[in-house]
């Protein structure tokens, strides 16, 4: 399958969660949307990181290793169990590269301010450090209890449920939510 036929999904409400969600299930098969360097650059660009430096041979494997570690930590959190120590080690390695350099950005509509990482001079190292940081901040915060798996057992996506009533069940209403609705409707019809 050509991965560029499949769009990246941004349903996580957190960059690290969206990064984890670059592994999806499509037609019953687990598909890695980060098949090559170009995919990683494209994903980064869609999250606002314009990677300017040339990728080295180790960058994509490092990205996937971090993704696996973040996934393990989030899955463990969802299951309320301790995660493997090796995942912590990987995330902590990337945290060492996290620059505290942030920029103040103003929302043009509301005038609200937000401190965000400086994404201007981006390398894969900076991208991964930033993702490790986003994930670490989330995992260490009370918000971690809002991490959920999509309610479709065939789906592997996770998300942060930021809805007010904490009742979000699906990665997306357009895909898994809609499928569940159709299945329920069909069961009613055939009863």
When binding is defined by CB under 5 A, the residue of 152, 158, 159, 168 that contacts Zn ion is 152
- Tell me, letter by letter, the H, E, C secondary structure of the chain: CCHHHCCCCCCCCCHHHHHHCCEEEECCEEEECCCCHHHHHHHHHHCCCCECCCCCCCHHHHHHHHHHHHHHHHHHHHCCCCCCHHHHHHHHHHHCCCCCCEEEEECCCCCCEEEEECCCCECHHHHHHHHHHHHHHHHCCHHHHHEEECCCCCCCCEEECCCCCCCCCCCCHHHHHHHHHHHHHHHHHHC
| 74 is a site residue for Zn ion (CB under 5 A) | no
Shortest distance, position 27 Cβ to Zn ion, whole Å: 14
Q: Which stretch binds Zn ion (CB under 5 A): 9-17, 67-75, 100-108, 172-180?
A: 172-180
When binding is defined by CB under 5 A, the residue of 150, 158, 159, 168 that contacts Zn ion is 150
When binding is defined by CB under 5 A, the residue of 155, 161, 179, 180 that contacts Zn ion is 155
Shortest distance, position 146 Cβ to Zn ion, whole Å: 16
| 31 is a site residue for Zn ion (CB under 5 A) | no
Query: Total binding residues for Zn ion by CB under 5 A?
Result: 6
Shortest distance, position 159 Cβ to Zn ion, whole Å: 9
Chain residues binding Zn ion by CB under 5 A are 150, 152, 155, 157, 171, 176
């Amino acid at each position: 399958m050509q991965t560029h036929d499949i769009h990246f999904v941004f349903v996580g409400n957190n960059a690290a969660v969206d990064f984890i969600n670059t592994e999806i299930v499509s037609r019953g098969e687990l598909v890695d949307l980060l098949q090559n360097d170009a995919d990683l650059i494209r994903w980064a660009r869609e999250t606002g990181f314009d990677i300017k430096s040339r990728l080295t041979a180790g960058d994509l494997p490092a990205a996937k290793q971090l993704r696996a570690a973040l996934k393990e930590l989030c899955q463990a959190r969802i299951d309320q169990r301790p995660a493997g120590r090796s995942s912590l080690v990987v995330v902590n390695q990337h945290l060492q590269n996290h620059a505290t350099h942030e920029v103040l950005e103003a929302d043009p509509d509301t005038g609200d301010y937000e401190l965000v990482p400086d994404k201007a001079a981006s390398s894969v190292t900076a991208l991964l450090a930033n993702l490790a940081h986003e994930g670490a901040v989330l995992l260490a915060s009370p918000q971690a209890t809002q991490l959920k798996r999509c309610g479709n057992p065939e789906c592997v996506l996770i998300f942060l449920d930021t809805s007010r009533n904490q009742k979000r069940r699906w990665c997306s209403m357009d895909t898994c939510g809609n499928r569940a609705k159709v299945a329920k409707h069909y069961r009613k019809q055939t009863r």
